Amino acid sequence: MSTEDTFHPLGEEWEGELEEMLDETEYDTDLGLEMARDAMRVTKGELSEAEFHERYHEDVLEEFDVDDRPTEAAWEEAKEADDEGLVERLADVDSEQERREVMKKMGAGAAAVGLGAWGTADNMAGEPEEPASVAAAQEDDDDGTQWGMAIDLEHCDGCLSCVVACSQENNLDMGVNWMYIFHYEDEDAGNDPKMMVRPCQHCSDAPCAKVCPTTARHVRNSDGLVLTDYDVCIGCRYCQVACPYGVNYFQWDEPDVPMADLDTDHVYDANGDWVDSRAPRGVMSKCTMCPTRQDGGYGDDNRGTTACEQACPPGIIHFGDLNDPESDPNQFLDEAREDPEKPSSFRLLEDVGTNPNIVYVGHEPGPNADQISAEEARDRGLGTAVSYEEIGLVDNRKTGNDEHDGLDGGTIGGGLSP
Amino acid sequence: MSTKTPSEADILRPINNTSKKYFIGLGLAGGAFAIFLAMWAYQLSVGLVITGLSDWGSGGGVTWGVYIGAFIWWVGIAHGGIILSAAVRLLGMDRYMPVARLAELLTIAGLSAAGFYILVHMGRPDRMVTSVLGNYHITVHNSPLVWDVTVITAYFVLTATYLLLTLRYDVTRLRDDLPGYFEPVYKMLTLGYTEKEDPVVERMVWWLALAIIIMAPLLLHGGVIPWLFALIPTMPGWFGAIQGPQFLTIALTSAIAGVILVSYAFRWAYEWEHIITDDVFRGLTLWLGFFALLFLWLQLQQIIGGVYAAPMDQSTVVSAMLGHPIYFGALSVVAAVLAYTFAQAIRPSLFTKKRSVAAAVAALLATLFEKVLFVVEGLMYPTFGLYAAVPGDYWPSLIEMFSVVGTIGMVAAFFMVVAKVVPVVELHAIEHLREGGHDHATDGGEEVDR
Ligand code: SF4
Ligand code: SF4
Ligand code: SF4
């Protein structure tokens, strides 16, 4: 599946350089690259150091005649002894002096491992800074990147530009609206039409990921994105059942756009997992927050952006790192909070404990809120409101519309419906 | 009551005599299953789009429907083995001994049908091994679906072990009268058997029965199967602690109904009036009524809780359910079953086996409809109700509907095949009946009323 893809967050070019460098040494290139790949996994917490060392102990011995790195046995020993603390010891290995020694002993193969380990998720967006210690990278991610959005509902035009942009960028089927816009009324809050902008909420405590029987739906360690590994998903649809917001779209039949027509830069993320673009038949999809953009697949300019954000004419979608006080969403929120005219911010269904990463500023839909048609919204004064049909999309995927068959068109015996 | 004396020849009859009717029956059952397999193959080739399912949310459908409802239903029916084993092995209610093995076979068949439904329901069943087993060590901590698969497997293995252990005794003793062409099967079954193992096996079987019985309420239909739904806080039709007991009572109702049907079929086919006596049916019918009562009781709890002063999202789903003809129909049928069983208990002349069979069929239909409705209505009325498309509509496709027929065919064919290979009534039961186990009135005939 993804063997051709770059595993390194700094991109294909960087990986190519590494490969060349390794080729020039007398040591095994494949082993070096494999180790580097797994070292990346260690930094992401998918693999423990002990497992990593255990896995390569034999190979490294064979290749370099020496392996000073701790094996599982040594790990256990260290845990027991624990006089100077395991974390410190492991961190020590990364100190400048030690690293040079290790490099001398092990040659470029080890260097590749070291480089791989540096490319921690945290500095994906910039150049490699200080080599982060493996142990530190495994610690809690609270102060790492957390992509999210602040959305200004008060200025949403209801024009559906974001829905179109997302659909095009991801080659979605008709009715698969990863981004979905509601025009709605709320009888408790006057006659004005209101707007709700609904991408996936990329919950920090995502129930969809919790219930998934395969780990296909996962929260990416490096930046908190909630993604679906299309190569692992079995299509049980439990994530869709458990998601409180109804943002999931199953691929019930063959997708309209074939695999060959997908932009290859827009398919695999930095981990080499197939998590972006429309899903293949039989698996689950939803808004991804454009991970290939965040990983640099669309160039550095597009890191920290999403297609929907860029397409929004009034610029009400503020995408960025919610853990960074200077990020676009946080700046917008700070301004909004200081402005006494602005309503307070909220998150959707905050009390169900999902910890969503979309923060809204504007009217929060009350218990009696009801979706209305775009025509209705226009009648009530929102001149820019556009319906899904008018813009060439499908709102209700099940029933479809005059131009596009819905899923019901494929149902066998569906005509029996009373 | 019949005056015939039960004999070994009686329980060997299914194995040694095969009638034309048998072949017709097997053809029908196997044919229904085969047709469904062909339909499934078609589903695999074009995708689940051929079902009536859709996405919940802007798509306005339900993503789980008949497949999941029928899955729960089959797991529920599989509880027949538990109840009968509990009655016979642990509580010493020997009158049910003649149907104990049939009930245990129903467990195996029901669980197989349920397992098959899991595959049918999936978008990518081919990844079952790599994706589910490959990540088991991680997902088992979180995913109720993984707990389900685990417990169903454990339950299957325990019951199969139990069946195989008790079969060794019978097969060894009846070996000379069993057909030669299955000799390898019998050899395998009785590998290393000596009479010394009998008391050991008896004790093992007792412990296995105990383990299974403890598993049922705590883990199976009282636990992980309802947790699939009851742990989802944003689907108010599902959420809540009552689902554990509610699922269990529904399961037991359908399980007893299943045992009644299977027992009746075998009695009819092999003239076993003197083995599976009327008395067995009377007892089973009472059990059916008792479980139906519990079923209705817990429904009442939910209705009252949902209409009195419930949170908005919950009262929406409860009133939608109350207004649904299927819900009303299912509950009325269960109430009628209850009325019949208690009436015949008070006035024994009202009892006929045919009526009990009709009550069993009614209970099975009611539980199937209730289960499907539970899944569908739960998904249609989520807490987040801003979508105009929610609640959408769902009408199962022909394939989904036929899946029920297909799996019933699969279970029937299973029984017909197994009955040709091994005795489906225990030798112990015959021995017990001959020793004068007829005095049921003193022999635990009253337990069911407690
Ligand atoms: S909004 Fe739904 S799909 Fe998205 S992360 Fe939260 S629970 Fe998962
Ligand atoms: S549909 Fe796929 S991603 Fe969703 S819960 Fe099932 S296996 Fe996981
Ligand atoms: S963040 Fe990306 S995937 Fe999500 S709605 Fe916007 S464009 Fe679509």
Give the model confidence (pLDDT) of B419-433 as tens digits. 999 999 999 999 989
- Give a yes or no: residue B2 inside a domain: no
Q: How far is B429 from chain A (nearest CA, A)?
A: 43
Contacts of A396 in chain B (CB under 8 A): 58-60, 389, 392
Task: Kindly state the percentage of chain B with pLDDT values over 70.
Answer: 96
* Residue of A241, A247, A399 with shortest CB distance to B232: A241
- Give a yes or no: residue B1 inside a domain: no
Nearest residue of chain B to residue A212 (CA atoms): B143
User: pLDDT for A148-175, tens place per residue?
Assistant: 999 999 999 999 999 999 999 999 999 9
For residue A102, pLDDT beyond 50? no
Give residue B252's domain range.
Answer: 8-449
Q: How far is A329 from chain B (nearest CA, A)?
A: 25
What single-letter amino acid sits at A148? G
Nearest residue of chain B to residue A396 (CA atoms): B59
- Measured from the Cβ of residue B194, the count of other Cβ atoms closer than 10 Å reads 8
pLDDT for B216 equals 80
d(CA B348, CA A128): 86
Between B9 and A15, the higher pLDDT residue: B9
* Residue of B64, B122, B144 with shortest CB distance to A211: B144
State the average pLDDT for chain A.
78
- Give a yes or no: residue B26 inside a domain: yes
Q: Is the sign of the CA dihedral B308, B309, B314, B320 positive or negative?
A: positive
Contact between B52 and A411 using a beta-carbon 8 Å cutoff: yes
What is the arithmetic mean of pLDDT over A235-247? 97
Assign B203 to helix, strand or coil: helix
Q: Which helix (H) or strand (E) holds A149?
A: strand A147-152
Ligand 3, CB within 6 Å, residue ranges: A 166, 169, 178-179, 199, 287-290, 306-308
Q: Which ligand is nearest to the CA of A199?
A: 3
Max CA distance (Å), chain B: 71
Are β-strands A249-250 and A226-228 bridged in parallel, bridged antiparallel, or unpaired? unpaired
What is the arithmetic mean of pLDDT over B59-82? 94
Lowest mean pLDDT among A79-88, A162-171, B24-33: A79-88
Between B3 and A373, the higher pLDDT residue: A373
What is the arithmetic mean of pLDDT over A263-292? 95
Confidence of residue A418 (pLDDT cuts 50, 70, 90): very low
- Measured from the Cβ of residue B27, the count of other Cβ atoms closer than 10 Å reads 12
pLDDT for A6 equals 45
Core vs surface per residue A218-230: b (16+ CB within 10 A) or e: bbbbbbbbbbbbb
Lowest mean pLDDT among A7-11, A259-263, B366-370: A7-11
* Residue of A211, A245, A249 with shortest CB distance to B384: A245
pLDDT for B52 equals 95
d(CA A348, CA B407): 42
* Residue of B139, B149, B386 with shortest CB distance to A369: B386
What single DSSP character describes residue B394? -
pLDDT for A375 equals 96
d(CA B111, CA B78): 6
Q: How far is B107 from chain A (nearest CA, A)?
A: 24
- Measured from the Cβ of residue A339, the count of other Cβ atoms closer than 10 Å reads 10
Q: Ligand 1 pocket test: which of A245, A284, A360 has the largest number of ligand atoms within 8 Å of its C-beta?
A: A245
Burial class (CB in 10 A: 0-12, 13-18, 19+), A303: middle
pLDDT for B87 equals 83
Contact B368, B73 (CB under 8 A): yes
pLDDT for B33 equals 98
Is A284's C-beta closer than 6 angstroms to any atom of ligand 1? no
Confidence of residue B205 (pLDDT cuts 50, 70, 90): confident
pTM, rounded to two decimals: 0.82
- Which atom in ligand 2 lies closest to the alpha carbon of residue A242? 5
Contact A103, A95 (CB under 8 A): no
d(CA A382, CA A182): 13
Between A201 and A59, the higher pLDDT residue: A201
For chain A, counts of helices (H) and of strands (E): 14, 11
Q: Say how many Å lie between the CA of residue B77 and the centre of ligand 2.
A: 27
What is the arithmetic mean of pLDDT over A3-8? 43
Instruction: Determine which residue's CA is closest to atom 5 belonging to ligand 2.
Output: A212
Q: How far is A258 from chain B (nearest CA, A)?
A: 15
Contact between A407 and B47 using a beta-carbon 8 Å cutoff: no
Contact A284, A217 (CB under 8 A): yes
Contact between B54 and A184 using a beta-carbon 8 Å cutoff: no
What is the arithmetic mean of pLDDT over B279-306? 95
Instruction: Determine which residue's CA is closest to atom 2 belonging to ligand 2.
Output: A233
- Give a yes or no: residue B93 inside a domain: yes
Q: Say how many Å lie between the CA of residue A395 and the centre of ligand 1.
A: 20
What is the arithmetic mean of pLDDT over A85-109? 41
User: Among all chains, which residue has been given the structure tokens 């069946």?
Assistant: B163
For residue A89, pLDDT beyond 60? no
Confidence of residue B124 (pLDDT cuts 50, 70, 90): very high
- Give a yes or no: residue B14 inside a domain: yes
Contacts of B149 in chain A (CB under 8 A): 213
pLDDT for A59 equals 61
For residue A63, pLDDT beyond 90? no
What is the arithmetic mean of pLDDT over B196-213? 88
pLDDT for B211 equals 86
Instruction: Determine which residue's CA is closest to atom 7 belonging to ligand 2.
Output: A233
User: pLDDT for B313-343, tens place per residue?
Assistant: 999 999 999 999 999 999 999 999 999 999 9
Query: What is the residue-wise DSSP string for A361-376?
Result: ESPPP-TTEEEE-HHH
Contact between A210 and B46 using a beta-carbon 8 Å cutoff: no
Token couple for B390:
């929610």
Contact between A246 and B63 using a beta-carbon 8 Å cutoff: no
What is the arithmetic mean of pLDDT over B149-176? 92
> For chain B, how many structural domains are there in total?
1
pLDDT for A53 equals 59
d(CA A74, CA A84): 15
* Residue of B48, B58, B138 with shortest CB distance to A395: B58
Q: Which ligand is nearest to the CA of A180?
A: 3
- Give a yes or no: residue B3 inside a domain: no
Q: Say how many Å lie between the CA of residue A196 and the centre of ligand 2.
A: 26
Are β-strands A284-285 and A249-250 bridged in parallel, bridged antiparallel, or unpaired? antiparallel
Confidence of residue A91 (pLDDT cuts 50, 70, 90): very low
Q: Which ligand is nearest to the CA of A200?
A: 1
Lowest mean pLDDT among A102-111, A204-213, B218-227: A102-111
Contact A132, A120 (CB under 8 A): yes
- The closest alpha carbon to A309, from A330, A295, A329, A324, belongs to A329
- Whichever domain contains B308, its CATH number is 1.20.1630.10
